[in-house]
Structure 1
Amino acid sequence: MKNYSILILILSLWIPNFSFSQAEIKNDLNLPDQAIDSLYKEDQFYVGINYNILVNRPSGVSQSGFSIGVQGGFIKDMPLNKQRNIAIGIGIGYSYNSYNQNLGIIKDDSGNTNYFVLDDTFEYDYSKNNFYQHVVELPIEFRWRTSTPESYRFWRVYTGFKLGYAFSDICNFQGEPGKLRYTNIDGFNDLQYGLTLSVGYNTWNFYVYYALNPIFKDDVKTYIKQEHIDMSVIKLGLIFYLL
């Protein structure tokens, strides 16, 4: 938790100092007006931090601690009009997402994966339980902004769709009967997709991701009550755009 807080503080202080546009570079170099690029492109690199909220949780499942997500990548900006304030963006990126909650993912002696709700009915004590994923992402955005070739401070509204592939997932449990760690559990949905929205002015932009499919596969159920685990995620945070 302490490491996450330090990371968020560093990103919040450092990233805004490096959010700039092509026009800002030209102004700093004192180039003549005719050197301003009328065919400019905006916001082709991005980094962000967010809080992961689990929704559609089975009964008894709750989040604990801070479930953090970080993301970064490159988006090809392709303006659609002469003013270049309307564009399509297509890119590639990476995200790391952690989920601190009380859904224990534990294998039995036969190697079968069981999903326990770690509530009062769970017979063992535990001090830590989470899972996290590494995801390669393909964002597609429709972009509207108030930018001009001479201005680098502008409003933006970017909305779109993001397709992701979770190439690694890790589950951690610490308690009785011991410290357990599993990788690449079959029950996770490798393919992830959802809707995105970024809204803001200049450096600071609010970001939301709304998942359209669950984190786990359709046949995954809790061990005792046999409830389907249809949990999905909503991500809320900040995203910073660079040249």
Structure 2
Amino acid sequence: MKNSLKPKYDMRLLFSCFFLVSFLNVFSQQETKPKIEPIVKIDSLYREDQFYTTITYNLFSNIPADLKQNKFSLGISAGFLRDMPINKNRTFAIAAGLGLSYQNFFQNLTISKDGSGASVYQVNDYNEFVSNRYRQYLVDVPIEFRWRNSTFDSYKFWRVYLGVKLSYAFATKSVLDDGETTYKISNDSNINQFQYGPYLSAGYNTWNLYIYYGLNPLFKSVKTLSGENLDIRTINAGLIFYIL
């Protein structure tokens, strides 16, 4: 009798174990795995190294009597600035860079040659010549103090940059057409090749206002035929674009 009941109990025990294992397996499959969030590393050492481009309207200041400009005197420059933050939040920085500039001036200050080949400077009425222009090409070294409210993950921010630009005019050219003769004077020795002055750029994101004022005269000790000293300074006013 006892021997006949033993197989039944063994079968029940076997089914019980199978049911328990199946239940635990289903339960384990329904458990939700914890979501793994990616670790975001904050770049606390970011810099605003930038390429820049300026488009300006060029002006003369400290001009002699009757000197006027006509047409649009265009200026274009481009270069790169290396950013060096000086505070923990990196909102203040010093930057230095290297660039090239092209400046064009349309005006009635004419440069011609006399019989001996010397340069002659004169302010003429516009009806006395057909066209007159002066242009120069420069290597620029900008150095600036920067404030901005940028962050490591934002390229859109307010900025105010105050700097000094040191420039070397490696090529200059004046072209005068008086209706009879065309005078082309390249690399006039009376032009100050070394030029410098302060500038300011301010704005938001890509679009920024820009203004530069030349501290030293464009010409060396030069006088016009009427005896006026040419103490002309240059002004560049327009827009500057920063590209990261």
Partner residue, 2:32: none
Q: Distance in 2 between matches of 1:40 and 1:111?
A: 57
Aligned structure 1 segments of 4 or more residues deviating by more than 2 angstroms: 32-38
Partner residue, 2:80: 74
Look up the SS of the partner of 1:34 in the other structure. Answer: coil
Look up the SS of the partner of 2:147 in the other structure. Answer: strand
Q: Distance in 1 between matches of 2:122 and 2:39?
A: 65
Partner residue, 2:196: 193
- What aligned pairs does 1:152-191 form with structure 2 within 5 A after superposition? 152-191=155-194
Deviation at 1:35, TM superposition (A): 4.5
Partner residue, 2:137: 134
1:48-85: per-residue Cα shift (whole Å, max 9, x none)? 10001111111121111111100111111001111111
**Count of residue pairs the alignment pairs up:** 207
Confirm whether residue 241 of structure 1 aligns to residue 242 of structure 2: yes
Confirm whether residue 221 of structure 1 aligns to residue 223 of structure 2: yes
Q: Distance in 2 between matches of 1:74 and 1:62?
A: 34
- What aligned pairs does 1:83-98 form with structure 2 within 5 A after superposition? 83-98=89-104
Confirm whether residue 147 of structure 1 aligns to residue 150 of structure 2: yes
Deviation at 1:36, TM superposition (A): 4.7
What is the aligned-residue identity percentage? Answer: 50
1:160-206: per-residue Cα shift (whole Å, max 9, x none)? 11110101000011123322211001111111000010000011100
Deviation at 1:109, TM superposition (A): 2.3
Partner residue, 2:44: 38
Partner residue, 1:21: none
TM-score with structure 1 setting the length: 0.82
For the Cα contact (< 8 Å) 1:43–1:241, is it kept in 2?
A: no
For the Cα contact (< 8 Å) 1:79–1:87, is it kept in 2?
A: yes
1:31-57: per-residue Cα shift (whole Å, max 9, x none)? x66255321111421111000111111
AA at the equivalent of 1:95: S
Partner residue, 1:12: none
Tell which has more relative contact order, 1 or 2 (C-alpha 8 A, sep 6+). Answer: 1
Partner residue, 1:11: none
Partner residue, 2:231: 230
1:80-124: per-residue Cα shift (whole Å, max 9, x none)? 11111110001111100011000110011211000011128xxx8
| Structure 1 portions without partners, runs of 5+ | 1-31
Q: Distance in 1 between matches of 2:183 and 2:57?
A: 25
Deviation at 1:144, TM superposition (A): 0.3
AA at the equivalent of 2:143: I
For the Cα contact (< 8 Å) 2:48–2:82, is it kept in 1?
A: no
AA at the equivalent of 2:240: I
Please report the RMSD computed on the Cα atoms of aligned residues, expressed in angstroms: 1.4
Q: Distance in 2 between matches of 1:130 and 1:87?
A: 39
For the Cα contact (< 8 Å) 1:146–1:155, is it kept in 2?
A: yes
For the Cα contact (< 8 Å) 1:107–1:113, is it kept in 2?
A: yes
1:7-38: per-residue Cα shift (whole Å, max 9, x none)? xxxxxxxxxxxxxxxxxxxxxxxxx6625532
Deviation at 1:153, TM superposition (A): 0.8
Cα distance change, pair 62–38 in 1 and its aligned pair in 2 (3 A):
same
